Amino acid sequence: MTLLEENAILVSVRDLRKHYADIEALRGISFDILKGEVFGLLGPNGAGKTTTIEIIEGLRQADSGSVSVCSLDPASQSAALKERIGAQLQSTVLHDKMRVDEALNLFASFYRHSVSVPLLLEHFGLVEKRHAFFEHLSGGQKQRLALALALVNDPELVLLDEPTVGLDPQLRRDIYALVEHFREEGRTVLLTTHYIEEAERLCDRVAIMDRGRLVALGTPRELIAISGQRTRIEVRLAKPAAIDHLKLVEGVIDCHEAENVYVLHVQSAATAISPLIRYLESEGNIMVDLHIAQPSLEDVFLEMTGRRLED
């Protein structure tokens, strides 16, 4: 790593381990987050994403390993660190009768440096709701308030734990726009998600986690390229077919079966489809369903773990 790269590192995680009773939540993960990048932790529920982000926030203590955030140790320099980071929890709960502007003013008062509350209200589209009680906000408004609270101290690093979980597609897109705006402002963002679309669209780099391990790390494009993923033809057949015979069809590089679906990896769908249909006709078999998919992070996850992200 060059000196320039070292200076650009805002978060450094080394061999982080954490267990709860008999469960090993983190099994020695390491990664760096560079200044100004949007870094994603992608993985299914129980992968260890929230534990990782909470250790970085200073909310939990790791069993072993080291973490440096903004050149501070979250465990021993928690108060100083909290001045420089802003975090949004998976679910933010405030007192039912607390008004939106009161919450922002109250939390802004805890920091040495804070952003103007009217600006935050405007930026997060909460001006009309500034006098509303927390209990009267919709799910999306609560999430926007949670993001505004995370930005109240104008942080260098923004940590977002599943920022769009439970939101409808429109609200999800609103949150995407806000995160993209953070990037334009030059802020560093660490977000956890189990949505492929979110990671692919928002993240400069993604760390894929599974069962407490980091299984892949890179830009979405790099991950797809490194994994050697190719276009997939997924077919459901009327009768079972022999995998070895399918592998011999022209244009097919590899083939496997998952959940009664035959997945054929091909260089090009256009050149492989006709030979495949001819082969099936010769076998007296027909396609019940056909799906052509370009490679994605989902495929990377599938390849790395042998499971789908939703599993």
Contact 34, 9 (CB under 8 A): yes
Nearer to another protein, 89 or 208 (CB): 89
92 counts as binding another protein under rule CB under 8 A: yes
Q: Please tell me the distance from the alpha carbon of residue 143 to that of residue 293, in angstroms, as a whole number.
A: 33
Minimal distance in Å, beta carbon 129 to another protein? 17
User: Where does residue 29 rank: exposed (0-12), middle (13-18), buried (19+ CB within 10 A)?
Assistant: buried
Contact between residue 148 and residue 124 where contact means Cβ atoms under 8 Å apart = yes
1/79 with CB nearer another protein: 79
23 contributes a contact to another protein by CB under 8 A: no
* 302 is a site residue for another protein (CB under 8 A): no
H/E segment holding residue 26: strand 23-34
- Interface with another protein includes 102 (CB under 8 A)? yes
Can you tell me the distance from the alpha carbon of 285 to that of 122, in angstroms, rounded to the nearest whole number? 61
Q: How far is the CB of 106 from another protein (least distance, A)?
A: 6
Q: Which is nearer to another protein, 80 or 226 (CB)?
A: 80
Among 59, 171, 287, 293, binds another protein (CB under 8 A): 59
Whether residue 239 contacts residue 224, with contact meaning beta carbons closer than 8 Å, is answered with no
Q: Is 98 in the site for another protein (CB under 8 A)?
A: yes
Q: Which pair of tokens denotes residue 309?
A: 């992200």
Determine which residue in the list 75, 106, 132, 137 makes contact with another protein, applying CB under 8 A. 106
Among 62-70, 94-102, 235-243, 295-303, the segment contacting another protein (CB under 8 A): 94-102
Neighbours of 154 (CB within 10 A): 16
Nearest to 280 by CA among 311, 252, 245: 245
Residue 174 interacting with another protein (CB under 8 A): no
CB atoms inside a 10 Å sphere around CB 119: 11
CA distances, 91 to each of 87, 139, 145, 197, 213 (Å): 11, 10, 11, 21, 24
| Using rule CB under 8 A, residue 75 touches another protein | no
By the rule CB under 8 A, 154 interacts with another protein: no
* Contacts of another protein in 182-241 (CB under 8 A): none
By CB under 8 A, residue 19 contacts another protein: no
Q: Which of 8, 111, 174, 292 binds another protein (CB under 8 A)?
A: 111
Strand 23-34 versus strand 85-88 pairing type: unpaired
Q: Please, what is the minimum distance in Å from the beta carbon of residue 155 to another protein? A: 10
Does residue 114 belong to the site contacting another protein (CB under 8 A)?
no
The residues of the shown chain that bind another protein, judged by CB under 8 A, are 57, 59, 78-80, 82-83, 87, 89, 91-95, 97-98, 102, 106-107, 109-111, 149-150
